[in-house]
Amino acid sequence: MVDTRKVYVLGIGATPIGEHWDESLRTLMTKAATSAIEDASIERKDVDAIFVGNMSSGPLQGQEHLGSLLATWLGIPGVAACKVEAACASGGAAFHQGFLGVASGVYDCVLVVGVEKMTDAITRDITAALIMADDQDYVAFTGVSFVGLNALVYKAYMDKYAVEQEDIALFAVHDHKQAVNNELAQYRRPVTLSAVMSSPLIADPIHLLECAPIGDGSASVVLCSEEFLKKYGGRDVLIEVSASIVATDKLSLYDRDDITTLSASVKASRKAYKIAKIEPKDVDVLEVHDAFTILGVIHLEDLGFARKGEGWRLLKDGELEIDGKIPTNTMGGLKARGHPVGATGVYQVFDVVKQLRGEAGKNQVDSPEVGVTQSVGGVGGTVVVNVFRRVR
């Protein structure tokens, strides 16, 4: 492996997630970017490059070329800028590109923005946009939805490991409990397991309250090099990006040997752990991509926190709570914080950095030092795993 420079998180910013009828795609990402720049205590002109994570601005807004659009609205035309797309992992992939830009020495200060605008599109168009995450010629043409694909995973998991659905559906209850104290969350209210299990079926066995909602939002991160820190100063609490890894799997479920595990999660996490010189037991706070409750459970296993078929036990035993063995989705996760798909990977970074800084309010984990985020595109076709460490 080639030598790389250290990369630090200098600033973060985000908008609330919800139905932003009076906000456009450009205003959402401009607000988040401006907030991160201000949090970093730098000037816009200090930014060397911009990476924008987004999945569906083309089909839903008829707008592409988001890198140049954001540079224009920030008033820094001339800066290197581009859009990064990897389905629901677009935000995570944009973060990875920003990390590489600084680690390689090409840039000293990078702005990463994730953004998605979904609520002003009709459901049919959103469904069509989401299934673009899978193969159009061999999967999408059948009429299957993204929820339907995850339903296949759900049924296969319950059958293979003899797990009760109620033990998996608890993930939604957990997330809503955490979101109550998150001022940026889309759904700041608790739900009961009975409410989850009695909510309408969307694709058997997935109930409505087991699905991440449709929403609008934007989150942003400023990354910088050690040289930049020395020149411009830094924060009292400093967060290093210890590793950022992307891995892929065969795109479609029909082509995989086992649909109850995401091999890309296994590959990306193990490589990230090795580079960061940690093990799962060293992680103090975790963000998993729980677009559906079943994914939250599977991710716990694939990331190395539980044996296969037993991720639900961590949930049921309270080990994912703020004071548990592995505090997970401490600000509500995709289910309750919200899931503006192209922005979600950056919101995860935002939440972990807040925890490592000690700024998570009532949801603060006790003195965390290491955090991990996992961002997933499609049904595991792309996975991004990032490791963060508080270094002072």
Reported as a single tens digit per residue, the pLDDT across 10-27 is: 999 999 999 999 999 999
Mind listing the pLDDT tens digit for each residue in 147-170?
Answer: 999 999 999 999 999 999 999 999
Give the Cα-Cα-Cα angle 243, 245, 246 (nearest 5 degrees): 165
366 has pLDDT over 90: yes
Helices (H), 290-378: 293-302, 311-316, 344-357
pLDDT at res. 2: 64
- pLDDT at residue 173, as a whole number: 98
- Give the Cα separation of 170 and 312 in Å (integer): 8
pLDDT in the model for residue 234? 76
Are the C-beta atoms of 375 and 344 separated by less than 8 Å?
yes
- Note whether 299 and 292 are within 8 A (CB): no
Q: Give the tens place of pLDDT for each residue, 175-231.
A: 999 999 999 999 999 999 999 999 999 999 999 999 999 999 999 999 999 999 988
Q: What percent of the chain has pLDDT over 90?
A: 97
| Average pLDDT of the residues of the chain | 97
Separation between Cα atoms, residue 348 and residue 144, nearest integer Å = 28
Q: Which residues contact 58 (CB under 8 A, 6 or more apart)?
A: 64
pLDDT in tens, 320-350: 999 999 999 999 999 999 999 999 999 999 9
d(CA 241, CA 101): 13
CATH of 7-122+214-232, one of 3.40.50.620, 3.40.47.10, 3.40.50.450, 1.20.1440.230: 3.40.47.10
| pLDDT > 80? residue 233 | no
DSSP state of 256: -
Lowest mean pLDDT of 192-196, 233-237, 311-315, name the range. Answer: 233-237
Q: pLDDT exceeding 70 applies to what percent of the chain?
A: 99
Residue 1 scores a pLDDT above 60: no
Specify the pTM. Answer: 0.98
Q: What is the DSSP string of 156-196?
A: HHHHHHT--HHHHHHHHHHHHHHHTT-TT-S--S---HHHH
Enumerate the active-site residues. 88, 339
Q: With bands split at pLDDT 50, 70 and 90, how would you rate the model's confidence at 241? A: very high
390: Cα separation from own chain's centroid: 20
